[in-house]
Chain A
Amino acid sequence: MTFLNPLILSAGLAAIAIPIAIHLLMRRRRKPTPWAAMRFLMEAMRRRRRRLQLERLILLAVRCLLVAAIALALGRPVVRGLSGDSPFGALPVTLAIAIDDSIASGAPDATGGQALDRHKAMALELLGSLRPDRGDRAVLVPLSGPLGSASDLAEGGALAPTSDVAAVGRLVEALVPTSAAADMGGAMALLAEQIGQAERAGRSGDGTRWVVAVLADAVEGSWSAEATRSMATLEDRAAGTGTAVRVLASDPQLSGLGPTTDIGIASLTPIRPVLVVGQGEAVAVSAPARVALGRSGSSLDSEQAVGIRLRYVDDNGPGPWASASARLRPGETAASVVLDAPVTGRPRGLAWLEAQIDPSLDGGVPGNDGAVAPLTLRRQLSAAIIASTPIALSGGLNPEDPAAWLRFALAPDALGEGDPLADIASTTLEPALVDAPRLSRVDVAFVLSPGGLRPAGWQALGAFARDGGLVLIFPEPGSSLAVWGDRATQALGLPWVLGPEAVEHEPALGLSKTASDDTLGLLRLVEGELEGLLRPVRVARSLPLAIEPGATGGALLTLSNGQPAALVGRPGTVSGTGGRGLVAVFAMPLAASWTDLPARPAVVPLVQELARAGVGLALDSAAAVAGDRPQAPGGAVQLRPGWTLAEGGSIAPVGVDADGLSARPLRQAGPWLALDGVSRPVGLVAVAPSHAGANRTRVDRTQTRSALAAGLGVTLASDSAVTWLDRPGGNLEGAAAPGVALALSEPSLAFGALLLLLALALAALEAVLARLFSHAQVAGDTSAPGTLAREAA
């Protein structure tokens, strides 16, 4: 039995003291009445003592019962598991708890803990109210996204209904805030699927009822419109089954206990993801990175200065911090700052950048106050120049030989091809000889003779690109027809249109870097100087390049007539998702008959930067946002957190599937170590926190109700359809403690009215007994004073 008004109940029960007090007060001394006929009083007392005592006790008991009955009635007792059909039968309930353990749940709570602690307490009380003995079962779905399928569910969840409520309770207790955004819609879809399955299995037909309890703060991070998009499926699926589904949800007023505004690191982008550290002695290197800040919440009209720091970490340990500060003006939600993390000592092992903001300036979600980004350390980059050997001309550089230009641009001060001390070592490959083993030894492949590549060569090149290689394709200077275009786009999975025939430009066109479309930021570091260097460059002939509408990729360089001079994009994979590598296709070769670019100073920074940044970007997929299933570095079979949780506990390692993706979404931000079969680190996956998920902008009760109503359909349109949950022991108006709310959701027998009737009956009984025991009725019968007196006379 549960009481809906426990406060009134306790007050009422305390009121039982009133009749007792009256009873005792009646015994209190009063002014004595002088009396002569004491002998008759004593005689009467001797005769009546026992009966009077009994009468008094009976009267006191009835009065106490009366007060207790009123108190119980006002306490609105309900007995669970009772229904009209089976007044004393037990109807099992399946309780599905969707608990928000996303990044938003790490927000500090007014009581000193986290919002998740509050969710946990509510979940545990809900679980504690279940009765496994009558067949109650529980389902636990942590809301950290993504929850696209059952396999996405974290190990801390339990999608299949289980009667082991205690085990579910332990899972709840083990939850820690993740760094991922909540996926409310995905969770509801999973639950709807589960309810549908249960129905199909005939479990619901025997009277099982479902109660879905959503324990999440009403903030946008947890309740974004996108996250609730698929909640309708719950209603759709449940409606067909006839299964009764009752929805409980955290009262939106509870989120008022947490912060309203959050500042976090929206992104940490190394400007050069690959650090080429050289072969010789240690050289002073620094690792620049751009830190983007984001601010969200309901009070953005204040100016805020944020301290930011950045450091470089590798096997030698963390380097010194570089600090800067950014200022968010009133109304601004984003700011970014570029820091240069000093690298001391000789870089080695796995390296990453770590950024933090001063946590004292952010009272919001702590999960996004830090971020990591991976760095790739290379002593030397190796480039393969895939070109047909030209007929050697004596007397220096052949202006029509792109390979020669390229070799020069790659290593302007090198001793020659294969120089072990050069940053970028280049080798030349005959197009016909291109195969996977040869490509596996290089970081970047410059295809200068695409026409000479065989289909197997293209296939090998495609695999190379998808596996993280950088492929740069130039047309052949000797041919106006690019017959290889279809083969290239097919092998590399690029929805581009290349060629087929070169176009002459008279007068020659200028060349510039595309500012807006350079989404990958390949040339960001040399952006400033490249603009000036490219200005004198003229292009006399180019191959038409185009991107199919809606396809990925963008223009890297643009001709002065607006046509792209170079396209860049991620290669497609067999399964359709983006590969790890990078492909760029140029509209003109490095040949004097097409353009004067090779002879201009721009060629060296352009080629150097393309190679260095491109190799880094080609490996960029090793960086991910919490909740992603990132591509693991090659050779990795397992991903393991490279840090320990401050609050203790552990994060389980995640396997790598056949596609090289992590087997489960990585929901905790930080550097994940990629380990090979013998647990040797082979790479790093840096997982950044979800900045969107940390949005603490309030969603009020009305909005939440309408979001639930919109998501779940008409049956939630009425006020009574959602039961708002208060924290255990809370006193929010219109909300109920979890245990009480669960009781409310059940067919129950309210005893309030019955108890009121009982109280009425007791009141009547009390009145009769009080009159009877007070002997007041003797006034009207034969023993009236006059009569008695006459008799006595």
Chain B
Amino acid sequence: MADTPTTPTIPQRVDPTLYLHPATLARLGSLELRAKMIVEGVMSGAHRSPYQGQSVEFAQHRPYVAGDDLRHLDWKVYGRSDKLYLKQYQQETNLDLVVLVDASGSMAYGSRPFSDAAASGQALGPSGQSNWRKIDHATALAAALSYITLRQGDRVGLSTFAQGILSGAGGGVERSSSQGTWRRIVAALAQAPVQAQADFPRVFDQALGKLTNKCLLVVISDFFTDPAPLEGIWARAKYRGHDAIAFQVLDRAEIDFAFKDPAPFEGLEGEGRLRIDPRALRPAYIEALAEHTKAVERGLRRVGFDFHRLSTHDWLGPPLAAFVARRENLLKRSKMG
């Protein structure tokens, strides 16, 4: 993430709390976000690490060899046995959370009034939109995840993408454990240009190439793309040791398709117009959407990644909390196992 500005400026008009409801924060406060897998990290955290390093939990002793840091010598053992042993501790590794947010044109759709969804009841969003778009919901989700992660002392980074990883204003936020990072993430997402089509293979080629350590990838998108190439993407991420959680953000109108009057529908990504009778097409639409969602989910589950679908009309807290709780349980089970 070299091209990502380290300290993006936060426009004054963007109030990050628009996207992170205090109630959400309250619910998330008692939970911890843990990676299913142990990841390596430089900072101490709640994540188990195979590396022995700076930690409080003793692991074993080993004989001193020249060059070892004398700070780790166990002076008590030297006093008893006159032998130099070093103390080794079970290192608790850092969790690097990389949030990938889809900023393609389809994410600009939203049927819920902004005031209804925003935490402070504001009527218009930061870019003047009156609707609570899918990208807004993704922003709120990213903010929530970042907040939790940062509270655990882990690093969080953001990348927005469409046809490629976006840069500049509305682009990414470099990984950081600074507590204010989530605000920068909100600010970056608020400025993201929501346009063009998403090119998932290209985006992931770029993103995975920049990740040198194992990370928890959170992909927030509507996944309105061909599901077949996605399977290859997840397999590559898995191969490189990353874990991934996919959040599919859909508007309720997209899920229900409860339109009544015949009207032309115009694609947000340049698909053209289609004049239809919505009520007549509704069953077929819902069927096609379900098939697509299942295909996307199947690809993720195949490599052990998680998939969760969110509706922009639902409050972010309950599904997110349920998700985190479920991850917690999974982590505990794997610990016990």
Contact = CB atoms under 8 A, between A and B. Distances in A.
B265 A41 contact: yes
The DSSP consensus for interface residues of chain A is: helix
A32 B280 contact: no
A36 B134 contact: yes
A496 B265 CA distance: 115
Interface string A441-474: 0000000000000000000000000000000000
A39 interface: yes
A45 B274 contact: yes
B1 interface: no
Interface stretch (A72-80, A294-302, A319-327, A783-791): A783-791
B279 A33 contact: no
B69 interface: no
Contact of A791 (B261, B280, B290): B290
Nearest to B131: A34
Contact of B284 (A30, A47, A785): A47
Contacts of A48: 280-281, 284
Contact of A35 (B268, B282, B293): B268
Nearest to B273: A32
Interface stretch (A348-356, A359-367, A497-505, A768-776): A768-776
Contact of A40 (B268, B275, B289, B311): B289
Contacts of A776: 279
Given A48-B284, A52-B280, A775-B280, A38 B255 contact: no
Contacts of B289: 37, 40, 792
Interface in B80-114: 105-109
B254 interface: yes
B285 A773 contact: no
A698 to B, nearest CB: 63
Contact of A32 (B255, B264, B284, B293): B264
Contact of B292 (A40, A42, A786): A40
Contact of B254 (A27, A36, A775, A783): A36
Interface in B267-318: 267-269, 271, 273-277, 279-290, 292-293, 309, 311
Given A36-B251, A36-B254, A38-B267, A792 B286 contact: yes
Interface in B142-165: none
Contact of B267 (A29, A35, A778): A35
Nearest to B281: A44
Report the contact-size class of chain A (Cβ under 8 Å from the partner).
Answer: 35 or more
Contacts of A785: 255-258
Contacts of B274: 38, 41-42, 45
Contact of B266 (A27, A34, A55, A786): A34
B63 interface: no
B266 A35 contact: yes
A43 interface: yes
B279 A36 contact: no
A520 B261 CA distance: 98
Contacts, number: 125
B263 A32 contact: yes
Given A33-B264, A35-B265, A775-B282, A789 B134 contact: no
A39 B277 contact: no
Contact of B256 (A32, A36, A40, A789): A789
B258 A41 contact: no
Nearest to B293: A792
Contacts of B311: 789
Interface string B235-266: 00000000000000001001111110111111
Contacts of A783: 283, 286
B106 A33 contact: no
Given A40-B289, A792-B255, A792-B289, A775 B267 contact: no
A27 B275 contact: yes
B222 interface: yes
B220 to A, nearest CB: 15
Contacts of B273: 32
Given A35-B265, A789-B256, A41 B276 contact: yes
Contacts of B282: 775, 778
B290 A788 contact: yes
Nearest to B226: A39
Contacts of A26: 262
Contacts of B283: 775, 778, 783, 788
A668 to B, nearest CB: 76
Contacts of A47: 284, 288
B214 to A, nearest CB: 30
Contacts of A34: 109, 265-266, 268
B143 to A, nearest CB: 22
A391 interface: no
Interface of A: 26-27, 29-45, 47-48, 52, 55, 773-776, 778, 783, 785-786, 788-789, 791-793
22 contacts: A30-B263, A30-B264, A32-B264, A32-B266, A34-B109, A35-B265, A35-B266, A36-B105, A36-B269, A37-B224, A40-B292, A42-B271, A45-B284, A47-B284, A52-B280, A775-B279, A775-B282, A778-B279, A778-B282, A783-B286, A788-B286, A792-B255
Which 8 pairs show the lowest CB-CB distances between chains A and B? A44-B284, A792-B290, A36-B109, A785-B256, A36-B106, A38-B267, A32-B266, A35-B265
Interface of B: 105-109, 134, 222, 224, 251, 254-259, 261-269, 271, 273-277, 279-290, 292-293, 309, 311
Given A33-B263, A40-B292, 16 more contacts: A33-B264, A34-B265, A34-B268, A35-B265, A36-B222, A39-B271, A40-B285, A44-B285, A48-B280, A52-B280, A55-B280, A773-B280, A783-B283, A783-B286, A792-B286, A792-B290
